[in-house]
Chains A and B, each alone.
Chain A
């Protein structure tokens, strides 16, 4: 019973390249969350999705960042034209079909993006 799987664990990109981070939720979970963590800081909410639907993207930067959770396959966080400030750990979490207000999240191990 695998938990939340994220890949790649480490990704190095040069400025201007694209970064794609993948997240497979825990079996039976229908909702996916993406968070960003800078060194020595807390987690900043980015986006919350269910299959084929973005529920809340209030934490996503307006440009260059996008997320999807297709009917088949993992959720993907895509960062276009990366800049050094995008260097961070990106965590994915999932939750089961929900009881509103009682979400407990299961986190993946994170994907660490380094932009040179």
Chain B
């Protein structure tokens, strides 16, 4: 079953603009992670935010988490054409160690 739903499904922007992707989930979580997938490739881990954290930064990435709204956002600042990919949120809940992925946002950055 899918835990996360992402919004928008697709996003097209120009290089230099910021890209914001949102993820909503259904049950309480231990942590939330964001992954990136280039076309035809496996997923690459970007960033993890724990349930007791509200914001986290990594380079041009900024992730926020609002557990009261069961939502997270991923902001990519000063986007580059190389950021073109699909971005997925993923959650771990309870005592399980399985990671459940959202539906993904396809980001296209035009040069």
User: A110 within 8 Å of B by Cβ?
Assistant: yes
Asked whether, in the complex, the Cβ of A56 is within 8 Å of the Cβ of B96, the reply is yes
Number of residues from A at the complex interface, CB < 8 A: 28
User: B100 within 8 Å of A by Cβ?
Assistant: yes
Please report the C-alpha to C-alpha distance between residue A32 and residue B24 in the assembled complex, in whole angstroms: 26
User: A11 within 8 Å of B by Cβ?
Assistant: no
Asked whether, in the complex, the Cβ of B97 is within 8 Å of the Cβ of A103, the reply is yes
Q: Which of B45, B48, B95, B101 contacts A42 (CB 8 A)?
A: B101
Asked whether, in the complex, the Cβ of B48 is within 8 Å of the Cβ of A43, the reply is no
Residues of chain B with a CB closer than 8 A to A93's CB: 42-43, 99
Asked whether, in the complex, the Cβ of A91 is within 8 Å of the Cβ of B97, the reply is no
Asked whether, in the complex, the Cβ of B42 is within 8 Å of the Cβ of A107, the reply is yes
User: B2 within 8 Å of A by Cβ?
Assistant: yes
User: B75 within 8 Å of A by Cβ?
Assistant: no
Asked whether, in the complex, the Cβ of A42 is within 8 Å of the Cβ of B43, the reply is no
User: A1 within 8 Å of B by Cβ?
Assistant: no
CB nearest to B95 among chain A residues: A100
Asked whether, in the complex, the Cβ of B97 is within 8 Å of the Cβ of A42, the reply is no
Asked whether, in the complex, the Cβ of B30 is within 8 Å of the Cβ of A109, the reply is no
Please report the C-alpha to C-alpha distance between residue A103 and residue B22 in the assembled complex, in whole angstroms: 21
CB nearest to B6 among chain A residues: A42
* A interface, CB within 8 angstroms of B: 4, 31, 33, 35, 41-45, 48, 55-56, 58, 91, 93, 95, 98, 100-110
Instruction: Please list the 7 inter-chain residue pairs (A to B) with the smallest Cβ-Cβ separation, ordered nearest first.
Output: A101-B30, A107-B42, A43-B101, A107-B43, A42-B103, A109-B42, A42-B101
